[in-house]
Amino acid sequence: MPALTESELIQIRRHLHQIPELALHETQTQAYLEQVINALNCPWLTIKHVPAVPTALLVRLQGTAPRRTIGYRTDIDALPVTEETGLPFASQHAGVMHACGHDIHMTVALGVLAHFASVQPRDNLLFFFQPAEEAEYGGKRVFDAGAFTGDWRPDEFYGLHDDPQLPAGQIATRMGTLFAGTTEIHVTFTGKSGHAAFPQKANDAIVAAAAFVMQVQTIVARNVDPVRGGVVTLGTFHAGTIGNVIAGSAHLDGTIRAFRQSDIEMMQQRVRRIAEGVGATYDVQVALKLIQGGYMPVENAPAQTEVLIDYMTQAPDVDFALVPPAMTGEDFGFLLQQFPGTMVWLGVGDPAHSLHSAQLNPDEAALMPGVKAWVGFLTARMEATHV
């Protein structure tokens, strides 16, 4: 079967856009991906499932004279967002949307796979259709399940993330850290509820939680090197039921983000110590959970990234740019700690809307340039004399 045409890529993307599914529940998405891949009818293609992570899908293409196995990863899950685009191919799943553009990611991956299913690659290629990027760190789950062993072990790994702020079809990356690592914060303060008129008989969880909110704001300002940056954001605060009752409990959720794992670990420790201090100061019980999972900083490996940038810069049909790092989180960071490789941005030209917006509408003109850029790079990578 020949490589997918632009109209076929658009058709695939629109179908995927209509069937978004949340992390670890991507059954319909996986079935459609397998349908497209099986239709390639490629004799050097093998599909692998991962029983421990049932919605994961791995595809291996046997090379003609392999010296390495090159991995390419795409994420397949969506977000709990109600779509507001008004598109004729909008989400058919209520309250779920590909608001982060994973439908774009999957379509580009299928386009690259289809090319090498019609033109057998020199090296082995491994395509990883990964569930649970937005939550539940699917990459780490599949790795921990032992999926990347033997013939299925990549020597290097690549991937992309769409960026609505960049022109459609532009490829962009940088040496070093591209995206931040993240950690979820979940904390509950438990005191004693009571009547608002008798505070001495209660133990106000809101006061304790408010102190925690204010104190964690000093973590970045007074502990992180200003030239490196970091973020501690608390996005939810739930407490109380009515204005004349002192709240006996308060729950907060938030995130830690930084470009270096050492900074993330330091910030985690500061959050723990502040929570413990607030508990002691206000005589409340503290239940704190810090969850990093697989959301490590996305650190592009020097050797592979230098080769990729050299190719993308010199390729006449690639629009390439160098960009600064972003506080975006991505669990591909975990895989890049296990295997050297590179992640890039793919511009999708919707500057009016950010990732995770209910109105995000990527420009489908980015699909074919994305496919061509990766096909060209992977072909050049396989033809290189050095391993």
Number of H helices, E strands in the chain: 9, 16
Which one of the listed residues 21, 75, 204, 299 is annotated catalytic? 75
| 350 assigned to active site | no
CB-based contact 15:32 (threshold 8 Å): yes
Burial class of residue 235 (count of CB atoms within 10 Å of its CB; 0-12, 13-18, 19+): exposed
Which one of the listed residues 133, 134, 163, 330 is annotated catalytic? 134
Q: What span, in angstroms and rounded, lies between the C-alpha atoms of 288 and 12?
A: 43
| 75 assigned to active site | yes
Q: What span, in angstroms and rounded, lies between the C-alpha atoms of 362 and 357?
A: 11
- Say which amino acid occupies 68: R
The distance in angstroms from the start CA to the end CA of the chain is: 30
Q: What span, in angstroms and rounded, lies between the C-alpha atoms of 65 and 197?
A: 80
CB-based contact 249:205 (threshold 8 Å): yes
Q: So which residues are the catalytic ones?
A: 75, 134
